[in-house]
Amino acid sequence: MADKNKDTLANLLNEDRSFPPHADFAAAANVKADAYEEAKNDRLAFWDKQAQRLDWTKKWDRVLDWSNAPFAEWFVGGELNVAYNCVDRHVEAGNGDRVALYWEGEPGDDRRITYNELSAEVNRAANTLTDFGIEAGDRVVIYMPMVPEAAIAMLACARIGAVHSVVFGGFSVDALSDRIQDAGAKMVITADGGFRKGKPSGLKETVDAAVERCDTIENVLVVQRTKQDVAWTSKDHWWHETVSNASSEHQPKSFDSEHPLFILYTSGTTGKPKGILHTSGGYLTQTSYTHHAVFDAKPDSDVFWCTADVGWVTGHSYIVYGPLSNGATQVMYEGTPDTPHKGRFWEIVDKYKVTTLYAAPTAIRTFMKWGDDIPAQYDLSSLRLLGSVGEPINPEAWMWYREKIGGGTAPIVDTWWQTETGSIMISPLPGETATKPGSAQVPLPGISIDVVDDDAKSVGAGGGGFLTIGEPWPSMLRGIWGDDERYKKTYWSRFENLYFAGDGAKRDDDGDLWLLGRVDDVMLVSGHNISTTEVESALVSHETVAEAAVVGASDPVTGQGIVAFVIPRGEADSSPEHLSELRNHVAQTLGPIAKPRQVMMVGELPKTRSGKIMRRLLRDIAEDRELGDVTTLQDSSVMSRIKEGLSTGSDE
């Protein structure tokens, strides 16, 4: 192998465990090895075939137009209605009585909504939006708790060709009004509030304050969920007084394949939020195909549960568009995993006999910390497939997920993608791939991924570098709303003709891909580029560690020194001996170069609202600086608690 010092990103972690799918799972799998072959032989023919999963009112003339790169057009000239594909066609196929959504409120109230009912409600909402003057191309901001009306509102927009922009219900007045203004939205759909952590949490007051700053908003539609008191203005209308009285008949119009479907803002770590633009035909094709292939979706027997919020792209693609386009039955849950008790998720799996669970590593590590005895109290035997998304999943958390939740048999699909990619890009195929704990493994059929060095040269087996995408894909972003230059600069300027996602990755000796975190977070220690993910996974593999975050802090000798923040599993032991044991454990697992300079035991870690660790803030602590911007933190008081509670364990 090449001199380690010259590697773009060091490859330190070795993982030998591998779990082939069960023979019966493999035999019944929706997608098998031939899909790779087929896509490799003719990528565009492959996507042409997948687009036929959908009902189009006008067939496309061309699969892809990339002549105006990096602005893609897919299924050029084709026309369809996205909502018709997600709802009406299942009713027409005779599946109107199938449950579309099992909705579970946090306090324990529940609703079941069949495709017949979903269809009627989407039609009523579409008629209401039209009555309020919303036309194709107009922008509608959706600021909702996790209630069925959130999905219904999205589908109603799609049905009339309006462009929705869902803003996560935990965001502030500033965040909401910035997004309304950037999108130039005409309407907001919201609720009085939602239940979170055992109490009603208001949304309407945030909308009121935001709308005051945004004169483009003409009407506000309000779902009544918590029945808390709300202020009322002449722009406000109750859902139950408008939508509920509207006609349940609605004739869907067809829209161009490239008609905008939604804008979703990603905050990123710096700068103004980017309005990621997705369009219709390509987006729906790839979300539908990936839900079918990666989750092995069997709509007449599966119960699918994606635990993400609709405010994130995961909720768009794997609660609304992917599963519903396939006629799936799903669970949607309003609240938090520990309300009213820490077994809430497993109680829901048991109640609805969930077969397929899609969750984030941050949640899995939290469940691991809460203890094995909690899931053990429930019948989880309905689960046949597990998914992970949002961050690298540490091998230890992966094994725990497989054993304690998946009964030691359910395959795990670790799915890599982004708001920008729209759908899953890298993932095992559950009936085909022998899965490896911690690796997202292989690009899906029809997707071209490469790991390259600084000079855009492909790194070989055993090498690390930048994760790039070589060919356009159907659900790719079509740009940043209102800022074409920023789109080119952000994604297409680092390497020529390659989309660069910002992530580091390595290829192991079998050619499988391992995501190594954001390249901005890579630590430079004595000339070696070391990924945060590998050091964190090494720490989590110690039996006393539930979660870890590492950062590079400037060091007079080594350039950067590794500083680790660790959440204990069970009883905390911050004795110097124990902390030193953890440092040695990393050195033994990854080699002496990766030995942390310092380990600190903490009670919690600073995370964004979607659960990603904010290493920037931890670097501020590690380098003893004033804290930077904390506004995107899930809980802004966490930093002062970390500072107060720190016990350091450096023996340097």
- Spell out the residues 6+ positions from residue 92 whose beta carbon is closer than 8 angstroms to its own: none
311 vs 431, beta carbon nearer ligand WT7: 311
121 vs 450, beta carbon nearer ligand WT7: 450
Closest distance of CB 358 from ligand WT7, Å: 10
Please give the Cα distance from 324 to 438 (Å, whole number).
29
Closest distance of CB 567 from ligand WT7, Å: 19
Closest distance of CB 457 from ligand WT7, Å: 22
104 vs 414, beta carbon nearer ligand WT7: 414
Which residues is 221 bridged to in the sheet?
189, 237
595 vs 609, beta carbon nearer ligand WT7: 609
Beta strands in 70-149 (DSSP E): 73-76, 79-80, 99-104, 110-114, 139-143
Closest distance of CB 276 from ligand WT7, Å: 8
Tell me the Ramachandran region of residue 612: left when phi exceeds 0, alpha when psi lies from -120 to 50, beta otherwise: beta
119 vs 307, beta carbon nearer ligand WT7: 307
Beta strands in 130-181 (DSSP E): 139-143, 163-166
Please give the Cα distance from 224 to 218 (Å, whole number).
20
Rounded to 10 degrees, the C-alpha dihedral 579/584/586/591 comes to 160
* CA 118 distance to own-chain centroid: 24
Please give the Cα distance from 274 to 502 (Å, whole number).
15
Which residues is 640 bridged to in the sheet?
none
Please give the Cα distance from 498 to 500 (Å, whole number).
6
Helix/strand/coil for 99: strand
Structure tokens at 348: 């829901």
Closest distance of CB 647 from ligand WT7, Å: 30
96 vs 406, beta carbon nearer ligand WT7: 406
- b/e string for 578-609 if b means 16 or more Cβ within 10 A? bbeebbebbeebbbebbbbbbbbbbeebbbeb
Phi, psi of 393 (to 5 degrees): -100, 125
88 vs 536, beta carbon nearer ligand WT7: 536
Asked whether the beta carbons of 129 and 157 are under 8 A apart, the reply is yes
Closest distance of CB 393 from ligand WT7, Å: 7
Closest distance of CB 84 from ligand WT7, Å: 26
Closest distance of CB 529 from ligand WT7, Å: 17
Residues that bind ligand WT7 (CB under 6 A): 266, 312-314, 389-392, 414-419, 440, 501-503, 515, 518, 610
Sheet holding 274-279, edge to edge: 236-238, 219-223, 187-191, 139-143, 163-166, 260-266, 274-279, 479-480
Q: How many CA atoms lie within 13 A of 237 on its CB side?
A: 19
Closest distance of CB 496 from ligand WT7, Å: 21
Beta strands in 125-167 (DSSP E): 139-143, 163-166
170 vs 502, beta carbon nearer ligand WT7: 502
Closest distance of CB 199 from ligand WT7, Å: 27
Please give the Cα distance from 564 to 242 (Å, whole number).
54
- For 68, other C-beta atoms within 10 Å of its C-beta total 8
483 vs 623, beta carbon nearer ligand WT7: 483
80 vs 306, beta carbon nearer ligand WT7: 306
Closest distance of CB 88 from ligand WT7, Å: 28
Asked whether the beta carbons of 132 and 218 are under 8 A apart, the reply is yes
299 vs 502, beta carbon nearer ligand WT7: 502
